[in-house]
Amino acid sequence: MNRAAIPGPPELLRTRSLVVCVGSGGVGKTSVAATMALWAAQQGRRVMVLTIDPARRLGNALGLKKFGNEETRIDLAGLGLDAARGGELWAMMLDTRSAFDNLIRKMAPDEQTAGRILANPIYRVMSSTFAGTQEYMAGEMLHDLAASGRFDLVVLDTPPVKNALDFLEAPSRLTRFFDPGIIKWFLTPYDERKVFGRLVAGTSAVVFRLLGFIFGKDFLEGLSEFLQLFTEMVDGFRERHEAVMNLLSSRDAAFVTVCAPNVASLEVADFFARELRARKLPRGGTVVNQVHQCGEDPLDPRELLAQAVQAHGQDLPAGTQARLLARLGAAHGRLREVAGRERQLIDDLAARLDAAGGFLVELPRLEGEVHDLAALVDLGVHLFED
Amino acid sequence: MNVVDLVYGKLVLVTGKGGVGKTTVSAAIAQLAAAQGRKTLLVEFDNQHPSTTAIYGQAPTYEPRSVAPDLWVANLDWISALAEWVERVVGIRRIVQMILRNRMVQRFLDATPGSREVVLLSKLVWLCEEYDLVVVDLPASGHAVSILQIPWMVKRLFATGPIRQKGEEAMALLGDPGSHLVMVALPEEMVVTETLETFAKLRQESPVLRIPLVVLNQSARPTLDDGESALLDRLSDAIGDDHAAADLVRAGRWEAVLERSTAEAQLRLSQGLDDVRLLDIPRLSREHGPGRLVRQISAALARSSQVRP
């Protein structure tokens, strides 16, 4: 396997226009996304980092409280970073509901139709709670951001595995619902039953009795209105969805899997490797985050630290020095065990990954947590140094 | 409220941020209940990578499988749940099968808001009639909130019909005095923040749910005294980065940080969650595999409230 030929994170972030971070929860995916965005901005690119995560994690990672659907510019110079190259860093948290409302206003043929859709109870529930809506709107947002020409690079942070799979799946699930075929199938009996009479009876009549039975007549009527209003917009939606899928599968895009060195997270990483390969989506590489750092050999604290402990601990109560030495030896043993197990898991992962899967980079677990920009700069040093 | 309420309740829903150990804690609660002789089912909701596989060595299926005395596991995939739902609600098997084979019907049902969740929650209602206790290993917080608010959504959306009725049954189950939500957290700043946010959201979106317990997993109780802390800090400053001694000091700092984070997490959680019991579970070695880890957590839960492990 020739990893030298694989572009590393720096080249990816200098050349691609879309980077999508996927992976399980709790592995610092948002921090890695923000770190990459920050680094690319330092290289002089105009970068947007977009999160669709409901728990407002990016806000934390960026040290920001809240930023709805608005683009927030992050002051690089204020971080003591070189802003002279013209780079910009922007961040946005997706607010699904208002993004969807805006989209309806934009796509509806006239104001009246838009108003009726926005007031439809089914639309109102669907736009805020329908599984997949969030991911769908993230795709829409990507489309808009890419089309605006205001950014050289968009970094997308996705929610943990179950939802992140939806991210690949849900846009099509949702657009399937707006599929002319299904809408026609659903609306036909209501529109044309009277005209065709018994001709359309048979199977579909049974099916509709069943649907009416399951969902109730009121709901079917509301849905019928909703779909009728949507019919005119279906083509527009489908075009946009195709554009998003084209964007995601183009050579300008790259998927980066972020994981932690534990069995569960690596299983998820394997899953993403398979999915991305099967869907022929461009794989940028894998980041193993939060790796404990520790040498392999046991160390004797008395031999290595007795002098230092004595020099620095003379004023402390009797026994403190010996207790700390014993503690450090025990802690080192535990850390060695953890680091050794992680090493084995990462080696196994490296052996499994094929060259087409892209780079494999390890990031150390940093002392303290990554929740401010200074910590992200630190993380960037580890990610981009050779 | 404590572990006894959970074990002798009817339904336990477990959620938390991704990677906090939801599955391990769910399994520990289920095993503890089974050890009391309660007929217990541990379920996952439509999980494409069932997390309990690693613990019980075999992927859970829709039909509950016995893994220990009084303990069953299952994974409720939604297509099977839908087939059973329609069959039980409509009643005629042949017609149901014919209708479900229709691609349009499948697509329609899949895409209709709430139908997936109602079908799964209905199954939960039925399972609660068959078992003494059902423990649900829910998806991560954000997703869990959207599932748990479904019955309320259904009430707004469906005026009549079985979906409405099943939604009401699910709502009644969630509001049952025997139903409890457990949130699992880690002593990390972002996890604690998300736990507090999810708690607030659930109070708002699903007000009948009782949240008796927040489990602070992988916590480290303070063991360093002031003198040891001071000496460790001085050593950190005095010793450079590049030799073996630094590795020892780093190991000490690593554990000191864990202890400090635990204390901070406990403070923030106890200030932010009213009437909720906070239970800490120590950091345990994963070396001996997930089965052992579950047994150890189960024992820790038992100790917290004098339940027989």
Q: What pLDDT score was predicted for residue A377?
A: 79
Residue that is written with structure tokens 């990031």 in the block = A363
HSE, side-chain direction, 13 A CA sphere, residue A245 = 15
* B141 within a domain of the structure (yes/no): yes
The whole-number average pLDDT for the span B1-7 is 83
Q: What pLDDT score was predicted for residue B214?
A: 92
Domains in chain B, number: 1
Residues A306, A371, single domain; the answer is no
Residues A331, A279, single domain; the answer is no
Mutate to test the interface with A, among B117, B119, B146, B157 (most CBs of A within 10 A): B157
* A122 within a domain of the structure (yes/no): no
Residues A250, A306, single domain; the answer is no
* B269 within a domain of the structure (yes/no): no
* B59 within a domain of the structure (yes/no): yes
Measured in degrees and rounded to the nearest 5, phi and psi for residue A285 equal: 160, -170
Q: What pLDDT score was predicted for residue A211?
A: 74
- Cα distances (Å, whole numbers) of residue B281 to A210, B5, B22, B251, B257: 50, 18, 13, 21, 17
Across chain B, what does the average pLDDT equal?
86
Query: Who among A312, A331, A371 is closest to B190 (CB)?
Result: A371
Q: What are the tens digits of pLDDT across the range B171-230?
A: 899 999 999 999 999 998 878 888 898 888 888 877 788 887 899 999 998 888 999 999
Q: What pLDDT score was predicted for residue A1?
A: 41
Chain B partners of A336 at a C-beta cutoff of 8 Å?
251
The whole-number average pLDDT for the span B48-65 is 90
* B55 within a domain of the structure (yes/no): yes
Question: Complex ipTM, two decimals?
Answer: 0.74
Residues A41, A90, single domain; the answer is yes
* B244 within a domain of the structure (yes/no): no
Residues A273, A319, single domain; the answer is no
Mutate to test the interface with A, among B44, B108, B236 (most CBs of A within 10 A): B108
- Distance CA(A146)–CA(A152), nearest Å, equals 8
**Chain-chain contact of B190 with A61 (C-beta, under 8 angstroms):** yes
**Chain-chain contact of B140 with A162 (C-beta, under 8 angstroms):** yes
* B249 within a domain of the structure (yes/no): no
Geometric angle at alpha carbon B33, from B28 and B34, rounded to 5°: 95
Residues A94, A82, single domain; the answer is yes
Q: What are the tens digits of pLDDT across the range B167-186?
A: 899 989 999 999 999 999 99
Q: Which domain holds residue A20?
A: 3-116+131-178+244-294+343-384
Residues A349, A315, single domain; the answer is no
Q: What is the least distance, in Å, from the CA of B226 to any CA of chain A?
A: 9
Q: Which domain holds residue B292?
A: 3-221+274-304
Domains in chain A, number: 2
Residues A290, A311, single domain; the answer is no
- Distance CA(A350)–CA(A3), nearest Å, equals 11
* A209 within a domain of the structure (yes/no): no
Strand pairing of A72-74 and A88-93?
antiparallel
Chain B partners of A217 at a C-beta cutoff of 8 Å?
160-161
pTM: 0.79
Q: A77: which DSSP letter?
A: G
Residues A313, A361, single domain; the answer is no
* B185 within a domain of the structure (yes/no): yes
* A220 within a domain of the structure (yes/no): no
Residues A155, A290, single domain; the answer is yes
* A231 within a domain of the structure (yes/no): no
> pLDDT truncated to tens, each residue of chain A (386 aa)?
444 467 889 999 999 999 999 887 778 888 889 899 999 998 999 999 987 654 455 566 565 545 457 788 888 777 766 666 788 999 888 777 788 888 888 888 899 989 988 988 778 777 765 556 677 777 788 888 888 999 999 998 876 545 555 556 555 555 556 666 666 666 665 544 444 444 444 456 667 677 777 777 777 777 778 877 877 777 777 787 788 888 888 999 999 999 999 887 888 888 888 888 888 889 999 999 999 989 889 999 999 998 899 999 889 998 999 999 999 999 999 999 999 999 999 999 999 887 788 999 999 887 766 667 777 777 888 888 75
Q: What is the 3-state secondary structure (H, E, C) of B237-254?
A: HHCCCCCHHHHHHHHHHH
Q: Residue A44: how many CB atoms within 10 A of its CB? A: 16
Q: A-B interface: how many C-beta pairs under 8 angstroms?
A: 230
Q: What are the tens digits of pLDDT across the range B144-157?
A: 887 888 888 788 77
Contact B24/B148 with Cβ under 8 angstroms? no
* A52 within a domain of the structure (yes/no): yes
Percent of chain B with pLDDT strictly greater than 70: 92
CATH of the domain at B38: 3.40.50.300
Q: Residue A143: how many CB atoms within 10 A of its CB? A: 16
Query: Who among B86, B225, B231 is closest to A309 (CB)?
Result: B231
- Distance CA(A76)–CA(B68), nearest Å, equals 57
